[in-house]
Amino acid sequence: MSSSPDERRSRVPICLIASNGGHLTQLITLLEGCQRWGCSVVTAYDDHLQEFAESQRTFFVTDFGRNGFRLIRNVLEAFHLILRERPRVVITTGAGIAVPICYWAKLLGARVIYVETISRVNMPSLTGRALHPIADHFFVQWPELVGSFAKAEFRGALL
């Protein structure tokens, strides 16, 4: 699903980023509302995502877990992806794979929107703490978390 250069310039490219599983499930609820501006989805590869990848503009990056070599690979993949795609807005529900992508995107002028995962009720996630300093908008899905972050806004839950 490739678009012409003129068509790409006329839309606001949005990059939706989430690790697969629950983070991606939450992010998919935003997908339909973003389609009219042109969007892509970035996640970690999983065999179960093949059908999804065929129906959406999808990119896969390395899920690094706690592996330093994979982290370096993810950081390089993130840089290449952001340089090529040049999103103007990045929206993420986490987890780890989103951090390098969001930092590169922010350095290249994109707006970063973070939505803390719904599984975090009382305690912020590591991803939330890592992205809070650069987030233009920072949403939590539980009112109990509003006080955990200076920029936190509660507008309800995605699911």
Which residues in 48-134 belong to E strands, given as ranges? 58-61, 89-94, 111-115
Residue 90 inside a domain? The answer is yes
Tokens of 129: 């703490």
In terms of residue numbers, what domain contains 33?
Answer: 5-154
Binning pLDDT at 50, 70 and 90, where does residue 1 land?
very low
Binning pLDDT at 50, 70 and 90, where does residue 23 land?
confident
Q: Summarize pLDDT for 118-141 with one digit per residue, the tens.
A: 888 888 899 999 999 999 999 999
Residue 2, pLDDT > 80, answer: no
- How confident is the model at residue 111, as a pLDDT? 97
Q: What is the mean pLDDT of residues 27-48?
A: 83
Give 141's Cβ-side CA count (13 Å radius).
17
Predicted TM-score of the model (pTM):
0.85
Residue 159 inside a domain? The answer is no
Min mean pLDDT across 31-45, 72-86, 95-109, 134-148 is at: 31-45
Residue 117: DSSP 8-state: -
In contact, 10 and 67? CB cutoff 8 Å: no
Residue 134 inside a domain? The answer is yes
State the Cα–Cα distance between residues 123 and 133, nearest whole angstrom. Answer: 17
Tokens of 95: 């987890």
Domain CATH number, residue 104: 3.40.50.2000
Give how many domains the chain has, as a whole number.
1
State the Cα–Cα distance between residues 22 and 14, nearest whole angstrom. Answer: 20
For tokens 């892509």, what's the residue? Answer: 40
Residue 68 inside a domain? The answer is yes
Residue 28 inside a domain? The answer is yes
DSSP string computed for 103-159: HHHHHTT-EEEEE--TT-SSS--HHHHHHTTT-SEEEESSGGGGGGSTTEEE-----
